[in-house]
């Protein structure tokens, strides 16, 4: 193995990635009183907002991920996408949303997160989701399960279960993206409760068993789902749960998905 191949294959430490996410959360909170929001009109979404907090957190995360391993490229919501002809050769790369739930952040909600995932061979190997306003951390690494740390409490392992339709479903859905398509999807399911959450916390609620399924009928981007996908996949008691997500597609957009049934 060449020196470059060895450097590329070095697995970053999950603890180091967690530290980066937590520090990025502190950066975000400094901007909370004055978010300075504006529309960025990229990725085909003319109403997508960006704030000073998004950009500052992105700078912090990308700078520190490059220090961990400068040979691992980064896909981030706040970095102009590299063309697919270049990206398609990437084996391992970071997928980052420095402030997921920007609309919730602007509204003053606590449900915004820092999302960092490491994808290898099109599968998320580790994922970190940090909610700075609540000091709430979820993380996972392939083969080592999914975990939750609430404030200063010790981390606890979290598990999800395949839902029993006979008992009815607890559905978690977006606080900011209601849709007629979702209502149509749910009308034929035995729904006993609907709960609402912002950002990637919806993945975490399924991963810890607080909800059974998370259906999303509208488009998302890879950085919206990668960390949550990793946490959900590794929340099984044995092996892994499965999802439909793939990564480093020619378009980084995802279509409709439902997690929780597999």
**What gap in Å lies between CA 138 and CA 1, rounded to an integer?**
34
Check the annotation: does 110 bind a ligand: no
Check the annotation: does 62 bind a ligand: no
Check the annotation: does 186 bind a ligand: no
Pairing mode of beta strands 257-259, 92-100: unpaired
Check the annotation: does 51 bind a ligand: no
**What gap in Å lies between CA 33 and CA 238, rounded to an integer?**
44
**What gap in Å lies between CA 227 and CA 185, rounded to an integer?**
25
Neighbours of 38 (CB within 10 A): 10
Check the annotation: does 77 bind a ligand: yes
Check the annotation: does 97 bind a ligand: yes
Closest CA to 210 of 179, 188, 232, 184: 232
**What gap in Å lies between CA 113 and CA 19, rounded to an integer?**
14
**What gap in Å lies between CA 141 and CA 124, rounded to an integer?**
8
Check the annotation: does 198 bind a ligand: no
**What gap in Å lies between CA 73 and CA 84, rounded to an integer?**
13
- Per the annotation, where are the binding residues for Mg(2+)? 77, 97, 99-100, 224
- Per the annotation, where are the binding residues for substrate? 77, 99-102, 224
- Per the annotation, where are the binding residues? 77, 97, 99-102, 224
């Amino acid at each position: 193995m060449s020196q470059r191949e060895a450097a590329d294959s070095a697995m970053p430490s999950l603890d180091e990635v967690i530290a980066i996410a937590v520090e990025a959360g502190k950066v975000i909170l400094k901007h909370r009183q004055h978010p300075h929001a504006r529309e960025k009109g990229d990725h085909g979404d003319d109403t997508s907002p960006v704030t000073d907090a998004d950009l500052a957190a992105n700078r912090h995360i990308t700078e520190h991920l490059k220090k961990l391993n400068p040979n691992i490229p980064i896909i981030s919501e706040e970095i102009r996408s590299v063309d697919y002809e270049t990206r398609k050769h990437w084996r391992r790369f970071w997928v980052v949303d420095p402030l997921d739930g920007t609309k919730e952040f602007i509204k003053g909600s606590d449900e915004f997160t820092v999302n960092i995932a490491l994808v290898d061979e099109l599968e998320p190997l580790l994922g970190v989701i940090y909610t700075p306003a609540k000091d709430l951390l979820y993380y996972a690494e392939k083969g080592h399960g999914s975990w939750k740390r609430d404030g200063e409490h010790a981390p606890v392992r979290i598990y999800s279960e395949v839902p029993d339709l006979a008992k009815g479903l607890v559905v978690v859905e977006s606080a900011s993206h209601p849709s007629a398509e979702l209502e149509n999807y749910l009308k034929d399911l035995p729904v006993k409760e609907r709960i609402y959450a912002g950002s990637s916390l919806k993945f975490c609620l399924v991963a810890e068993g607080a909800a059974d399924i998370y259906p999303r009928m509208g488009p998302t981007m890879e950085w919206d789902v990668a960390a949550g996908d990793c946490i959900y996949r590794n929340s099984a008691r044995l092996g892994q749960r499965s999802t439909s997500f793939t990564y480093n597609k020619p378009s980084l957009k995802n279509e409709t998905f439902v997690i929780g049934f597999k």
